[in-house]
A and B are shown apart, each in its own frame.
Chain A
Amino acid sequence: MGVRAGLAYPEGNPAALTQAAQRLSGLAARVAGAATSIGRSAAVSGWEGPRYEVFVSAGRDVAASLDPGAAALNRASSNLAQLGTRVEDAQRRIRAWAEEIEAAERSLQTAQSELIAARLAAGLTGRPTHLEGAFERASHELDELRARYIPKARQLCGELRQDDERAANALRAAAAMAPKAASRAPGPLSFLDLKTAASAGFDDRDGAIGAHASASIEAILARLHERFGDGTTTYGLDASVGASASASANAELGPNGLHLGGGADVQAGAKGSVSATVGDEDTFAITPSLDGRAGPGAGAHANVDVDEDGLHADIGAGLSPLIGGGVHLEVHVNPAGILDTIQDAPRTIETIKDLID
């Protein structure tokens, strides 16, 4: 705090505080607008799958965290604007009081100068009593003004300190609501997913005996796995960027049937596949797919399952010196389901006939 004519005076720039309050209010509006836009944009109809869940929740989390932040910025802006007004008002009032005191000081100096001059002129012949009276009145007025305004100015400055503390608290609260990379914002959607696995063994569980051996290592930078469809065909979209190597072999014989499988795959770079499943998993379904690879890699696998649901074969091979691809075919046959369908056929024909008739 400064001093003006003996009065405590709040040095400062209220216009700069008002300007900062306006900019803060503008920032709050921008943040609220962005929150609304992000929340609305993240909801995309027709896109389904686990990645969409990550996507939409990331957008919603950001919007939800920005809304209270914008509100806190608005509160801080109001406090800052109020502080600017209070500083300006205090400065204006104390300046007016100081000008009154300065005027009284000038009056006193004038009265004092006139009194001294009059005394010198009068010499020993008499006393300039009227000037002595004027001097005493000026001196009394100055004392009175100081006694009135010094405590008032001190009180105003004390109140400003409280306003300063209040505005600072609102600003600190708004600062605490600032977006933080670790907790409020969505994590990066590209991630390094490093997996290693190795196993070998012999099982005897639930009446089945089997042997298996496998080893794999994956360093996946980004992965996409989506399924969508139109009711009759299900489309699949899989893509990943990274490096992986795996090999496995297994055989199992049990009450549920026989399973034989094996495969090996080495890939560095990007790979993706597009597939479409036509048919009914309960009876007969066929899933052709196309693989694409960028980067050196090769792979082959075969799996055969024979169980009470029928035969399930899954074979595939691919090679890519630099850019390449492969084909893959999955066939699922369920004799029981087909038999049920055939047995239902006469009943279905009867139903159609009933409808026509």
Chain B
Amino acid sequence: MLIANDPAQTRSAGSALTTAGSELLCAAGAAQLGSGAGGDATPRTDAALGMLSSDWGSGLRTLSAQIESLGRYADLVATAFERAGD
């Protein structure tokens, strides 16, 4: 019966999305590459590296929260399905 299969799959999706959200948060940490890596020889690269670090760091942090929220939503739906199936 359809209703019996839904909660487990939906909960599994929620769990995977929550994990993906955590992974994105770790990636946000990895995006902190720092600036001034190359030194005087590469001033433009150093500035662009700083910009990339900042943009990807904040973007991934925001995305991580949204993906975790998507995961929690799937979890909520799974719980609702389970209760409806009881």
Contact = CB atoms under 8 A, between A and B. Distances in A.
Interface of A: 1-2, 10-14, 16-17, 19-20, 23-24, 26-27, 30-31, 33-34, 37-38, 40-47, 51, 55, 58-59, 62, 73, 76, 80, 83-84, 87, 90, 157, 160, 164-165, 167-169, 171-172, 174-176, 178-181, 184-186, 188-190, 224, 226, 228-230, 235, 237, 239, 274
A186 B63 CA distance: 8
Contacts, number: 193
A230 B9 CA distance: 17
12 contacts: A17-B37, A62-B66, A80-B45, A157-B41, A160-B41, A167-B44, A168-B48, A179-B60, A189-B73, A190-B69, A224-B77, A230-B3
Contacts of B1: 230
Interface in B35-49: 37-45, 47-49
What is the interface of chain B mostly: helix, strand, loop, or mixed?
A: helix
Given A27-B30, A178-B55, A168 B45 contact: yes
Interface of B: 1-3, 5-6, 9-10, 12-13, 16-17, 19-20, 23-24, 26-27, 30-31, 33-34, 37-45, 47-49, 51-52, 55-56, 58-60, 62-63, 66-67, 69-70, 73-74, 76-77, 80-81, 83-84
A77 B79 CA distance: 43
Given A90-B41, A178-B55, A186-B66, 16 more contacts: A13-B38, A16-B38, A37-B19, A83-B38, A168-B42, A168-B44, A171-B48, A179-B56, A180-B59, A184-B63, A185-B62, A189-B69, A224-B76, A224-B80, A226-B77, A228-B6
Contacts of A237: 80-81, 84
Nearest to B73: A189
A17 B45 CA distance: 9
Nearest to A176: B55
B47 to A, nearest CB: 7
Taking each of B6, B16, B63, B80, which has the highest tally of chain A beta carbons within 10 Å of its own beta carbon?
B63
Contacts of A27: 27, 30-31, 56
B20 to A, nearest CB: 5
Nearest to A91: B41
Taking each of A157, A169, A181, which has the highest tally of chain B beta carbons within 10 Å of its own beta carbon?
A181
Nearest to A231: B2
A73 B53 CA distance: 11
B42 A17 contact: yes
A41 B13 contact: yes
A44 B8 CA distance: 10
Contacts of A46: 2, 5-6, 9-10
Contact of B42 (A12, A45, A185, A224): A12
